Amino acid sequence: MDYLRAFIVGGTICLIGQILMDKTSLTPARILVSFVTAGVILGALGIYDPIFEYGKAGASVPLPGFGYALAKGTIKEVQQNGLIGAFTGGIKATSAGIAAAIFFGYLMAIIFNPKAKS
């Protein structure tokens, strides 16, 4: 059941992205930026919580989930540590993803070379 929900929620978020890509002149980079920012806002307003509860990985793996984690982490840290939490909370909550992307990115760049497309 988890899997079906993750599939539907995750698939729907990607579907929205595809519609934006095909029907507007937004570039993929702009869509990613809007998705993350939308995740932050929806997270802050508490709208993303039920989506996450329902979709689990389907809501956390797409980029709005990244924004959601940023917002949740910030709010939690502000509750615990006051204003400085606004600066520490977001990155703390998403630290694993960011550090992994930098580290594996570097690693892959050492190991592999880009190939021509066919």
Partner 1 sequence: MVEKRLGEQTIAFKNPPSIISTAAIAGPKEGEGPLRDYYDIVLDDDLFGEETWEKAESKMQKEAVRLALEKLQIDEKDIDYIFAGDLLNQLMASSLAARDYRIPFFGLYGACSTLTESMSLGAMAVDGGFADYVIASTSSHFCSAERQFRFPLEHGNQRPPTSQWTVTGAGAAVISSKGKGPYITHVTTGRVVDFGIKDANNMGAAMAPAAADTILRHFKDTGRTNKDYDLIITGDLGKVGMELTLDIVKKQGFDMSANYSDCGVKVFDLTQQDVHAGGSGCGCSAIVFCGYLYKQLLEGNLNRILLISTGALLSPTSTMQGESIPGIAHAVAIERGV
Partner 2 sequence: MKTLRMEGDCMEHTNEERLKKEFQDMVKRSAPSSNFLKDCLAAFVVGGLICVIGQFVMNFFINMGIPKEEVGYYVATIMVFLGAFLTGIGVYDNIGKFAGAGSIVPITGFSNSIVAPAMEFKREGFVFGVGAKMFVIAGPVLVYGISSSVIVGIIYYIMNLFK
Residues making contact with partner 1 (CB under 8 A): 21, 25, 28, 114-118
35 binds partner 2 (CB under 8 A): yes
Number of residues that bind partner 2 (CB under 8 A): 83
Partner whose footprint covers residue 52, from partner 1, partner 2, none (CB < 5 to 8 Å by kind) = none
Sequence-distant (≥ 6) Cβ neighbours of residue 41 within 8 angstroms: 67, 71
Partner whose footprint covers residue 1, from partner 2, partner 1, none (CB < 5 to 8 Å by kind) = none
Give the C-alpha separation, 31 to 46, whole Å: 22
Structure tokens at 78: 């502000």
Structure tokens at 111: 């190991």
> Tell me, what DSSP letter sits at residue 96?
H
37 binds partner 2 (CB under 8 A): yes
